[in-house]
């Protein structure tokens, strides 16, 4: 099921002056979390608004106004990152102007002036005027307080908008911290990855499962205590909410990042090089992400029906290992160079595809104002006259080209890109590798 518009309100509280004697500052990680998640959500078609270190009233007013102004039948994502606390059986979030007891004891948190300065995790009262089809309420917060037992934080919150679906996702279970590093929270980094348009998840359930798996992996890699990401659906429309498409999905980023770590090429590395492998694979993983984004952006500019996202994966899992002599050893740096070469080639190809979008490749007639690249493309079209004639009269259909003519255009573009790899002074420009090499060394 598809939604009808996507909007997101991101709320981050990294500093609590009235509670700083009990709650550590999260200023740096909260800022990183908001930036990472906001970038991914925009890539998946969300209009994003951010509140940084808001007071309790600013949060409640923000949620009320934002959800009330959401388009009918749209998807509203509300996200909070900061501290949380359970008092009795009720879950609370800690705004920037929250008060805290002098010491961490149950009686202190139950004092009226303390409790009233907090915000209940149940925000249903602020969704009364919301006409969205679905509200997703996401909390990245430890349940901080005495007696870490009982149900997971937020699990008793199942009420959303009066006439729409509702789901609540939480970053950790009873007694578990919501782990983070200098670069941000493990859960939010995983959530941002799940919403990334280059990853495979599209529905609410798929985004949840992807975020849960990635959070577990990050916690293990950092040797931090485990945390269980969970999701709770409202009583009404649960199945519809579970299947709702809330992200763009493309199987690109994950396979490319996986193959740089799992390629059989690493089996050729002698044991003496083993200590270097982890760092080199981390560098390659970042390069794979950059290459995937180059490809995605280029194909957004000029959609390519001939694109083959699995080509680098096949090359690194099948072709290159087969070309090596049996029993040949490679240093860890040599394997890194082989893998990086494949990724940099894809990046260079994507850059040329993006350049092709500026040439108006649907128009095959010679143009008087053509630059060198356009003139080269015109020469390509003249080499294939029987193909190019299918684009005759392009001005009449340029605003709404048919699929067949677009495919013909891209076939010619592929010929142009192929020749560029032969004729350009630098087939793969060195500048594409500079950042990777600096990180490597």
- What residues contact residue 423 under an 8 Å CB cut-off, 6+ apart? 376
In this predicted structure, what is the pLDDT of residue 173?
78
Round to whole Å and give the CA distance between 379 and 360. 14
pLDDT at 106: 59
Provide the token pair at 183: 């670069």
Q: In the chain, where are the structural domains located?
A: 6-243, 253-355
Phi-psi region of 184 (alpha: psi -120 to 50; beta: other; left: phi over 0): left
The C-alpha atoms of residue 257 and residue 240 are separated, in whole angstroms, by 32
Crossing angle for the helix pair 274-301 and 332-357, nearest 10 degrees?
10
Q: Are 79 and 10 in contact, with CB atoms under 8 Å apart?
A: yes
pLDDT along the chain (441 residues), means of 10: 78 84 80 95 95 96 95 94 85 89 70 88 91 94 56 62 88 80 89 94 96 93 87 87 93 93 94 88 94 94 92 95 91 95 96 95 89 94 91 59 79 96 93 90 84
pLDDT at 156: 61
The pLDDT value given to residue 270: 92
Residue 157: the pLDDT is 63
Q: Are 197 and 43 in contact (CB under 8 A)?
A: yes
Q: Would you say the pTM of this structure is higher than 0.75? A: yes
Looking up tokens 């690249």, which residue turns up? 373
Could you report the per-residue pLDDT of 3-30, keeping only the tens digit for each? 579 999 999 998 887 777 777 778 888 9
Longest dimension (CA), the chain: 85
- List the 75-81 sheet strands across, edge first: 46-52, 6-12, 75-81, 134-140, 165-170, 230-233
Residue 74 near residue 3 (C-beta atoms within 8 A): yes
Instruction: State the Cα angle at 436 between 434 and 441, rounded to 5°.
Output: 95
- 350's tokens: 């994507």
User: Is the Cα torsion angle 209, 214, 217, 218 positive or negative in sign?
Assistant: negative
Pick the CATH number of 6-243 from 3.40.50.1000, 3.40.50.1370, 3.40.50.1460, 3.40.50.1220: 3.40.50.1460
Specify the pLDDT at position 398.
53
Please give the Cα distance from 173 to 317 (Å, whole number).
Answer: 38
Question: What local confidence, expressed as pLDDT, does residue 399 receive?
Answer: 53
Distance CA 212, CA 228 (A): 7
Residue 153, pLDDT score: 60
Between CA 14 and CA 28 the distance in angstroms is 7
How far apart, in whole angstroms, are the C-alpha atoms of residue 128 and residue 171?
26
Residues 121 and 157 sit within 8 Å (Cβ to Cβ): yes
* Cα–chain center distance at 410: 28
């Amino acid at each position: 099921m598809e939604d009808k518009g996507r909007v997101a309100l991101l709320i981050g509280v990294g500093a609590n002056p009235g509670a700083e004697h009990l709650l550590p500052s999260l200023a740096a990680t909260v800022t990183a979390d908001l930036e990472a998640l906001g970038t991914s959500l925009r890539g998946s078609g969300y209009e994003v608004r951010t509140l940084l270190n808001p007071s309790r009233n600013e949060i409640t007013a923000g949620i009320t106004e934002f959800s009330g102004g959401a388009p009918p039948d749209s998807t509203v994502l509300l996200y909070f990152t900061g501290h949380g606390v359970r008092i009795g059986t009720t879950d609370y979030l800690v705004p920037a102007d929250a008060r805290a007891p002098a010491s961490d004891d149950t009686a202190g948190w139950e004092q009226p002036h303390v409790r009233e300065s907090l915000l209940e995790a149940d925000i249903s009262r602020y969704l009364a005027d919301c006409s969205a089809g679905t509200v997703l309420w996401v909390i990245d917060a430890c349940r901080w307080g005495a007696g870490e037992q009982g149900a997971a934080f937020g699990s008793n919150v199942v009420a959303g908008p009066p006439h729409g679906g509702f789901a609540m996702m939480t970053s950790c279970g009873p007694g578990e911290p919501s782990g983070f590093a200098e670069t941000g929270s493990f859960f939010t980094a995983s959530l941002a990855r799940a919403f990334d348009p280059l990853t495979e998840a599209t529905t609410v359930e798929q985004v949840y499962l992807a975020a849960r798996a990635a959070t577990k992996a990050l916690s293990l890699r950092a040797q931090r205590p485990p945390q269980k990401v969970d999701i709770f659906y409202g009583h009404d429309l649960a199945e519809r909410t579970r299947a709702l498409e809330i992200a763009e999905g493309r199987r690109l980023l994950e396979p490319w990042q996986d193959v740089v770590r799992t390629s059989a090429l690493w089996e050729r590395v002698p044991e003496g090089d083993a200590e270097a492998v982890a760092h080199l694979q981390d560098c390659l993983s970042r390069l794979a992400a950059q290459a995937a984004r180059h490809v995605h952006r280029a194909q957004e500019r000029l959609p390519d029906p001939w694109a083959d996202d699995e080509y680098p994966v096949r090359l690194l899992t099948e072709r290159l290992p087969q070309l090596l002599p049996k029993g040949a050893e490679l240093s860890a740096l040599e394997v890194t160079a082989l893998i990086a070469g494949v990724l940099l080639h894809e990046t260079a190809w994507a850059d040329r595809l993006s350049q092709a979008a500026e040439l108006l490749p649907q128009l095959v007639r010679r143009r008087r104002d053509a630059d060198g690249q356009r003139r080269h493309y015109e020469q390509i079209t003249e080499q294939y006259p029987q193909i190019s004639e299918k684009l005759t009269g392009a001005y009449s259909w340029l605003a709404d080209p048919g699929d067949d003519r677009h495919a013909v255009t891209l076939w010619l573009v592929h010929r142009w890109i192929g020749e560029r790899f032969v004729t350009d002074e630098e087939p793969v420009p060195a500048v594409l590798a500079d950042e990777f090499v600096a990180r490597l060394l």
